[in-house]
Amino acid sequence: MNAKTFHMSGYSDEELCVLVAGGHRDAEEELVKRYLRIVRICARPYFLAGGDSEDLIQEAMFGLLKAIREFDISRDARFKTFAEVCIRNRIRSAVTNASRSKHSPLNDSVPFESPMLGSGASPEELYISREEEAERLSRLERRLSPFEYKVLEQFLLGLSYQEISEQVGRPIKSVDNAVQRVRRKVAGDFGVFSES
């Protein structure tokens, strides 16, 4: 198993996609391992009021699998860019669909990032989006305790509760409680909305 993983690690993402198209399941597993952190990072900016963030992580994984299986190497694009677009589109689609259905937890999400990021926006639009995101985070920082903000920063980087617990030197339960308080404050300050 380790030899197989080591062997696959020598391939680029694009080369692994070609192998996946040829039916190599090991190549698909390698890409999933490589992009698990990106899946978490893409899903984490959405807080679910009354729901579990695992729902969005699962949707993000579906987006990653779609990217792996549909990547076209002839289009002269990097797999990473294509994967991020597929992952974010799947999350946004889940949020939009939830607003039309009975699945209310996905309907009550609060995104921190601008919808323009990663969507082929111009440099000016990206700059404005980043400025708006920084302003939102700055407002939130003033509202949160130092501990809550530190937990939020780690959470948005895609760290698990266990990893955050190790970073901040507090029990996992304290981290979970901090995340729940942040969710309530975010929903109160920014309103609960979903992207369309």
* Per-residue confidence (pLDDT) for residue 169, from 0 to 100: 93
- Same-domain status, 100 and 166: no
Q: Which residue has the higher pLDDT, 196 or 92?
A: 92
Given this model, what pLDDT does residue 188 score? 59
Q: Is the pLDDT of residue 35 over 90?
A: yes
Continuous segment of H or E residues that includes residue 111: strand 109-111
CA distance 43 to 91: 7
- Residue 47 pLDDT greater than 60, yes or no: no
Residue 79 and residue 176 in one domain: no
CATH number of the domain bearing residue 153? 1.10.10
Q: Which residues of 121-136 are buried (b: 16+ CB within 10 A; e: fewer)?
A: eeeeebeebeeebeeb
Give me the pLDDT at residue 139, please. Answer: 77
Q: How many domains does the chain have?
A: 2
Minimum mean pLDDT range among 91-95, 97-101, 183-187: 97-101
Q: How much is the pLDDT for 58?
A: 83
Residues 102 and 9 in one domain: yes
Task: Tally Cβ neighbours within 10 Å of residue 17.
Answer: 24
Same domain? For 149 and 91 the reply is: no
Residue 109's H or E segment, with its range, is: strand 109-111
For 12, the 3-state DSSP assignment is coil
Name the pTM for this structure.
0.52
Query: Mean of the pLDDT values across residues 13-35?
Result: 91
Dihedral sign of CA atoms 127, 35, 45, 134 in order: negative
Tell me which residue range forms the domain holding 9.
Answer: 1-111
Query: Looking at residue 2, what is its pLDDT?
Result: 43
Residue 191 pLDDT level (bands cut at 50, 70, 90):
very low
